[in-house]
């Protein structure tokens, strides 16, 4: 079969741009088509610039062309996010946020929220504009960790529409279900209610321009996670775990979840929390209470990036309890550990762009 430009465009007319709900040909999103014998190269523009969205489009284009023109056709598809001025009228969810990163854990109790708070604090300390969505619906921690328990988001008029404004602490914008419930009240919601609440924290909040929006997910895998990837263009995910085998087993599931075909969010890396215990009176001693290098070995075994070790020290707990993340300590081993984690995190985030 002779390959022509018209046949290529006819095949691509079956590929839908998910944000626009229309095919990529009618929306003039296909550029630079080149046909060289059995090889087709082209550029496709998409509204959502996130890595997983571009990868999905790349796969859809290849499938459409191979289905119509034959499996022996070699397809080289470059998928690019559209310039902001071309998409701001189309992208309605968080158009001014550069990086949206989910922080997840396979199980509870591994210190995920503590890592989120300190990662956000470290990013803000480094000069980035940062926000946190406390999506751990059933156990919101951010109001306590940033000493804003009892505060409530205010409202603002944005283009004739009422939006919530996040609570701000240490220059970090925070939105949490904990701002709307009493501290002692249990949140007893079925999956759809929890998913709706999560969606509203994104769509009904005026976040403005941010460099990083960190999403503190509930432990495990479930409705909240699926709702998130269906609602928000995630740029990546980070998995937090302690090094013992019972936690590592669930961390594997967390990585596998983000690799699923219907999710496909790039995993930026894994963090080993509570890597060792160091008592204040013996600062040079390390006691590997939960095992040694379990998360590091897991990352290597799954071909993922290892972002770093965070030790178990008393001051981390004390800092969380008083609402001042440990990363704000002056020149301590734990603040240095979090600063190094921030450096590695920014480096890995930039690689995905």
Domains of the chain, each with CATH number or no CATH: 5-87 (3.30.300.130), 97-351 (3.40.50.300)
* pLDDT at residue 192, rounded to an integer: 67
Start-to-end Cα distance in the chain: 37
**Which residue carries 């240095």 as its tokens?**
336
Residues with Cβ within 8 Å of 26's Cβ and at least 6 positions away in sequence, in order, are 13
* pLDDT at residue 99, rounded to an integer: 92
What's the whole-number mean pLDDT along residues 92-108?
85
User: What ranges in 135-241 are assigned the alpha helix state H?
Assistant: 142-145, 191-203, 223-231
The full length of the chain comes to: 353
Contact 311/333 with Cβ under 8 angstroms?
A: yes
- The model's confidence at residue 90, banded by pLDDT at 50, 70 and 90, is very low
pLDDT tens for 261-282 read 767 788 999 999 999 998 888 8
Identify which has the larger pLDDT, 47 or 214: 214
In a 13 Å sphere around the CA of 156, the CA atoms on its Cβ side amount to 12
What six digits make up the tokens of 317? 């707990």
- The model's confidence at residue 78, banded by pLDDT at 50, 70 and 90, is very high
* pLDDT at residue 131, rounded to an integer: 97
What is the spatial distance between Cα 131 and Cα 212, in angstroms, rounded to a whole number?
Answer: 6
pLDDT tens for 141-178 read 899 999 999 889 888 888 888 899 999 999 999 999 88
User: What ranges in the chain are assigned the alpha helix state H?
Assistant: 5-12, 51-69, 84-87, 112-125, 142-145, 191-203, 223-231, 245-259, 294-301, 314-322, 333-351
* pLDDT at residue 301, rounded to an integer: 94
Q: Is 336 helix (H, G, I), strand (E, B) or coil?
A: helix
* pLDDT at residue 183, rounded to an integer: 64
Q: What is the dihedral of CA 81, 84, 88, 91, to 10 degrees?
A: 20
Please determine, for residue 190, whether its predicted confidence score (pLDDT) is greater than 70. Answer: no
What's the whole-number mean pLDDT along residues 194-198?
73
Query: Among the listed ranges 44-48, 56-60, 241-245, which one has the minimum average pLDDT value?
Result: 44-48
CA–CA distances in Å: residue 77 to residues 26, 45, 73, 350: 18, 10, 12, 22
* pLDDT at residue 186, rounded to an integer: 61
pLDDT tens for 36-55 read 988 999 999 998 888 888 89
pTM of the model: 0.73
DSSP string spanning 289-314?
TT-SSHHHHHHHHTT--EEEEEEE-H
pLDDT tens for 310-325 read 999 888 888 988 999 9
Q: Could you tell me the sign of the dihedral formed by the alpha carbons of 209, 212, 235, 30, in that order? A: positive
Residues of the chain with pLDDT > 70, as a percent, come to 91
Closest CA to 286 of 246, 319, 333: 333
- The model's confidence at residue 103, banded by pLDDT at 50, 70 and 90, is very high
Residue burial 94-107, b: 16+ Cβ < 10 Å; e: rest: beebbbbbbbbbbb
- The model's confidence at residue 91, banded by pLDDT at 50, 70 and 90, is very low
CA–CA distances in Å: residue 97 to residues 100, 214, 309, 326, 343: 7, 11, 28, 26, 19
What six digits make up the tokens of 62? 């290849």
Closest CA to 212 of 119, 88, 129: 129
Tell me the range of 100-109, 166-175, 201-210, 330-339 where mean pLDDT is highest.
166-175
Contact 165/155 with Cβ under 8 angstroms?
A: yes
Query: Among the listed ranges 208-217, 223-232, 291-300, which one has the minimum average pLDDT value?
Result: 223-232
* pLDDT at residue 146, rounded to an integer: 95
* pLDDT at residue 352, rounded to an integer: 64
- The model's confidence at residue 350, banded by pLDDT at 50, 70 and 90, is confident
* pLDDT at residue 353, rounded to an integer: 59
Average pLDDT, the chain: 86
Q: Is 18 helix (H, G, I), strand (E, B) or coil?
A: coil
Instruction: Identify the burial level of 158 via C-beta atoms within 10 angstroms of its C-beta, where 0-12 means exposed, 13-18 middle and 19 or more buried.
Output: exposed
């Amino acid at each position: 079969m002779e390959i022509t430009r018209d046949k290529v465009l006819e095949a691509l007319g079956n590929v839908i741009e998910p944000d626009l709900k229309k095919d990529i040909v009618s929306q003039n999103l296909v550029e630079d088509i080149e046909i060289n014998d059995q090889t087709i190269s082209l550029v496709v523009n998409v509204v959502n610039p996130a890595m997983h969205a571009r990868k999905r489009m790349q796969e859809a284009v290849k499938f459409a062309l191979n289905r119509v023109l034959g499996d022996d056709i070699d397809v080289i598809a470059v998928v690019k996010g559209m310039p902001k001025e071309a998409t701001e009228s189309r992208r309605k969810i968080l158009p001014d946020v550069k990086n949206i990163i989910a922080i997840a854990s396979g199980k509870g109790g591994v210190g995920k929220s503590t890592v989120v708070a300190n990662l956000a604090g470290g990013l803000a300390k480094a000069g980035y504009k940062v926000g946190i969505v406390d999506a751990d619906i059933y156990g919101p921690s951010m109001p306590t960790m940033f000493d804003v328990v009892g505060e409530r988001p205010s409202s603002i008029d944005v283009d004739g529409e009422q939006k919530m404004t996040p609570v701000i602490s240490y220059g970090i914008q925070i939105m949490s279900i904990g701002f709307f419930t009493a501290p002692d009240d249990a949140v007893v919601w079925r999956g759809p209610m929890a998913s709706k609440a999560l969606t509203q924290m994104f769509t009904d909040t005026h976040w403005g321009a941010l460099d990083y929006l960190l999403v503190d997910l509930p432990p495990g895998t479930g409705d909240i996670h699926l709702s998130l990837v269906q609602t928000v263009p995630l740029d990546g995910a980070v998995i937090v775990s302690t090094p013992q085998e019972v936690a590592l087993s669930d961390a594997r599931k967390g990585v596998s979840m983000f690799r699923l075909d219907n999710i496909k969010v790039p995993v930026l890396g894994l963090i080993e929390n509570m890597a060792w215990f160091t008592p204040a009176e013996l600062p040079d001693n390390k006691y590997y209470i939960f095992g040694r290098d379990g998360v590091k070995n897991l990352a290597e075994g799954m071909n993922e990036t290892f972002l770093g070790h965070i030790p178990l020290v008393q001051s981390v707990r004390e800092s969380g309890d008083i609402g001042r993340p440990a990363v704000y300590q002056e020149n301590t081993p734990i603040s240095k550990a979090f600063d190094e984690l921030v450096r590695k995190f920014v480096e890995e985030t930039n690689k995905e762009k």
